[in-house]
Amino acid sequence: MHRAPDGTAYDLNGPDNAPVVVLIHGLGLNRACWQWTVPALTDRYRVLSYDLYGHGQSAPPSDTPNLTFFSQQLSTLLDHCGMDTAVLAGFSLGGMIARRFAQDAPDRTDALVILHSPHKRSPEAQDAILKRVEQACLEGPNSTVEAALERWFTRDFRQANPDMMDTVRRWVTANDIAIYHTIYRVLADGIDEITAPTPPITCPTLVITGDEDYGNGPEMTHAIAREIDGAQTMILSGLRHMALAEAPDAINAPLRSFLEKLDSQK
């Protein structure tokens, strides 16, 4: 583990001079959620994974969190690591941060991989997530984690993998009750910043979700892709939100293929 001057905890893996891929985790998680992805990349890519402010081993946010705040964290980290540009792969909230960064620093964004990330929600879905934010504010992450595990993993996988459920549960419940809800609100309210981006995002983009990811489903994936010229979509059959942990190859294979295609076009 490395630590940047601003308190960001991060890991670097893979060859020193290889193309850079940055992995950005989702709400309540930490960089350990990429443990099933990193080994699929590090023979050919320099992989940077890090903890968002207020998560894992990183410092708490120094200001009220929003997408621009997290975009600046990434910019500062790239500067610290001496990286000019990168491919950004963002999961859920991380996919929102990746899109914000692509708007803020298009010259530093080689490509995007957006995993299980939201677009504009229906009024009913927006009301539901705001209720979860309020619940997290009053009662902390313990109050929302069991419902989250049901949304994130299929029933059969949950039943067959109690150790993984315990691991993910520990990641979520380790979050500070005073901070967690403020970042949860970014997931809920930040979507307007990255919907119909102006100027539009133009870098190569791959958008993936599962057909059972009910909060970030296929219709959202296609909506994200429609706003990015040339973006590709992939819908994973029989998988929910955390496909990267439940079925790593379902994410790793298209991610690797996308990266190799980018390399071939240079």
Would you give the DSSP letter of residue 28?
T
What gap in Å lies between CA 26 and CA 184, rounded to an integer? 10
**What are 156-188's pLDDT values in tens digits?**
999 999 999 999 999 999 999 999 999 999 999
Strand order in the sheet with 20-24: 2-3, 9-13, 46-50, 20-24, 86-91, 109-115, 205-210, 232-236
Tokens representing 119?
Answer: 């677009």
pLDDT at 265: 82
3-state secondary structure of 54: coil
Q: What residue has token string 């079925």? A: 247
Tokens representing 46?
Answer: 């320099």
List the one residue out of 77, 142, 119 whose CA is nearest residue 209. 119
**What are 187-240's pLDDT values in tens digits?**
999 998 899 888 899 999 999 999 999 899 999 999 999 999 999 999 999 999
List the one residue out of 50, 127, 132 whose CA is nearest residue 91. 50
Tokens representing 233?
Answer: 């979509």
Show the domains of the chain with their CATH numbers.
2-120+192-264 (3.40.50.1820)
**What are 66-125's pLDDT values in tens digits?**
999 999 999 999 999 999 999 999 999 999 999 999 999 999 999 999 999 999 998 898
Rounded to an integer, the average pLDDT of 31-54 is 98
